[in-house]
Structure 1
């Protein structure tokens, strides 16, 4: 692997700020400035276009490191990396429709991922947002997007909506809109349990125009094996898994440190690192953590090397996200158990990780959707 973009010194600085951003429920502007200066927002941009030219595997590794330092900062920038990453995955396969995203990122544009909608459990396979075609090939979008990370700073929004021009053959139209376009309202409504610094506010679109040259995909409503959908799922699920795997990595470190620091009167003042029950819990957490890290790296490498998993690609992608999130939740729980009551404090790092890791259960694909995807792959669709 090439030298990491993020130095240990930078990660230590970012870690030192994380608690403050969480407590104040504010966006990590200083973190973003430092990451931008390090070239991190250009990680996926090819060298010849002005970027670092990192692979998905390399970016996933960096996201694990960043998430171990500051989960909310990592999750926020993750959405920019998802959009630029899917553009890079497409480009690697000869598809140039999203090359403009890579050029935008090289110029310093910050991308947000504006697809989630309240009450839409079909996620990317349908939309409550209206996409109305215009005579010049542009589209106007009207709808409400939730969980729009990077809300205070994004300059470009990757979004989609439903075109019902032909009611018998509705289309899902994917496009990019600019922050300064008329009809965009970003609400100040982010006050949640964890991942607070992501500032993933609601974005309301009212007739927002996407120019024709920024309308990049029209797909039939419903599941699709189109390259765009594969690239989106690959970037989103693997990078999301990397973030939560990074949380697990840090939890193991904190659990180990607490086990060496805490002493037991029952055992004559020896540290808990010598207690068989504590040793078992730390070992079990490390076993789970090690297994998930290997899986994230392996699947990212398969994407980079254009491995053909055929119809099993989507089960593998949704599966790694579920395993990473559930694994991280388990690891954080074990770390809390070995760290004692002091770790329950709301201002402590481990307590913050406990709140942050819970956010993973709400990201697509959730457990129900993932199990349906895997069941369909192995058992076929449900009979109607």
Structure 2
């Protein structure tokens, strides 16, 4: 049984074309998600939440992405931070408790990690984190900060100006020194409104961890990486699955003059849609297996991060392939912006740019299979 009702999902789906066409924040969607308790769905029951585990919230994200990819991708960032807090508490770090409590109370958490020109992403920041008596002040620029018009809390990180360590913290929206640009004008995922956020000595005393840069088993770093990759994979899976639904419905009514029959009877068209479905069929089990492994604290050792990178890439690439095949099957009508496949095509492209990218993925797996490079 889904946490998100059919009525909520249908309403979100019906609004998606409007928010995409107007490059607008999906305010009504987030009001509906808050009202139904979705901001706290991933919070354990002992903290007043819905008690869903990673596998279950991933399934919800897939359903939401089928309704509206941009709304799903935006709230995905909130769910990632809730997932980090769950992992922190499980590992004995009480700093995560307030995140869980705030999520249940309706606070919206943004993800302020990515920086312009920084391909280290999570593993090293160019933002300055300056220590002081109250905690740290952060100065730098964060890009792709989803939910920019509405977030109330933001997880961010910077480089300690004294030690060089990575400092992860939560910054409140009302904190002085935060400037949000109105610069989100993209091909797709327009409703996420992932504007650039500029930090100018923005203060935080809510420090989650201070750790060495680079891949790490630190609960915050590993919690971010694991939840990010699994939930991103689940979100993009929804796009591929929805494309197949749209295409299947379309070819059952689109008629071929040459064959005097609907395109659903054309063997070439059937092959294309079947090919899309075959690619997507392998994604769900991979997501569920890895989510269960994380929930169960399985010992995967050095394979953890390569496998997490792989699940995101598998989903993003399979969904891109599926949408492409569905567009080919449906013909020129899908080139019009009013066609849902056109929007799905633009939205799925965002998966190419989000970490881990293919270069990072292949580098990680080469290290596992071949070991370090020699002279």
Distance 2:48 2:121 in 1: 33
Q: Which residue of the partner structure matches residue 223 of structure 2?
A: 231
User: How far off its partner does 1:96 sit?
Assistant: 2.8
Alpha-carbon displacement from aligned partner over 1:325-353 (angstroms, at most 9, x marks no partner): 00000000011011111011012110000
Q: 2:323 aligns with which of 332, 343, 346?
A: 332
Q: 1:292 aligns with which of 278, 283, 286?
A: 283
Two-structure CA RMSD over aligned residues (Å)? 1.1
Q: 1:261 aligns with which of 243, 253, 257?
A: 253
1:154 aligns with 2:148: no
Work out whether residues 79 and 111 of structure 1, in 8 Å CA contact, stay in contact via their aligned partners in 2: yes
Work out whether residues 43 and 50 of structure 2, in 8 Å CA contact, stay in contact via their aligned partners in 1: yes
User: How far off its partner does 1:69 sit?
Assistant: 0.5
Work out whether residues 252 and 286 of structure 1, in 8 Å CA contact, stay in contact via their aligned partners in 2: yes
Distance 1:179 1:381 in 2: 43
Which TM-score applies when normalising by structure 1? 0.95
The 5-angstrom pairing of residues 191-206 of structure 1 reads 191-206=185-200
The 5-angstrom pairing of residues 265-280 of structure 1 reads 265-268=257-260, 270-280=261-271
Q: Which residue of the partner structure matches residue 342 of structure 1?
A: 333
Distance 2:195 2:104 in 1: 25
Distance 1:96 1:267 in 2: 66
Distance 2:158 2:207 in 1: 11
1:240 aligns with 2:232: yes
Distance 1:279 1:309 in 2: 40
User: How far off its partner does 1:185 sit?
Assistant: 0.4
Distance 2:91 2:248 in 1: 43
User: How far off its partner does 1:366 sit?
Assistant: 0.8
What secondary structure, in the 3-state scheme, does the structure 1 residue paired with 2:52 have?
coil
Distance 1:93 1:132 in 2: 27
Q: 1:218 aligns with which of 197, 210, 218?
A: 210
User: How far off its partner does 1:306 sit?
Assistant: 1.7
Work out whether residues 258 and 338 of structure 1, in 8 Å CA contact, stay in contact via their aligned partners in 2: no
Distance 1:119 1:381 in 2: 26
Distance 1:257 1:130 in 2: 52
Distance 1:135 1:99 in 2: 23
Q: Which residue of the partner structure matches residue 130 of structure 2?
A: 132
User: How far off its partner does 1:223 sit?
Assistant: 2.5
Q: Which residue of the partner structure matches residue 322 of structure 1?
A: 313
Alpha-carbon displacement from aligned partner over 1:40-65 (angstroms, at most 9, x marks no partner): 00011121211101100000000000
User: How far off its partner does 1:91 sit?
Assistant: 2.4
Report how many aligned residue pairs link the two structures.
Answer: 375
Q: Which residue of the partner structure matches residue 372 of structure 2?
A: 381
The gaps in structure 2 that reach 5 residues or longer are none
The gaps in structure 1 that reach 5 residues or longer are none
1:16 aligns with 2:10: no
User: How far off its partner does 1:377 sit?
Assistant: 2.2
* Between 53-62 and 215-224, the greater mean CA deviation after superposition: 215-224
Alpha-carbon displacement from aligned partner over 1:27-86 (angstroms, at most 9, x marks no partner): 000000001111100011121211101100000000000000100000010000110111
Which TM-score applies when normalising by structure 2? 0.98
Distance 1:160 1:306 in 2: 26
What secondary structure, in the 3-state scheme, does the structure 1 residue paired with 2:43 have?
coil
Distance 2:97 2:157 in 1: 18
Distance 2:330 2:284 in 1: 23
Q: 2:345 aligns with which of 350, 354, 376?
A: 354
Distance 1:311 1:97 in 2: 27
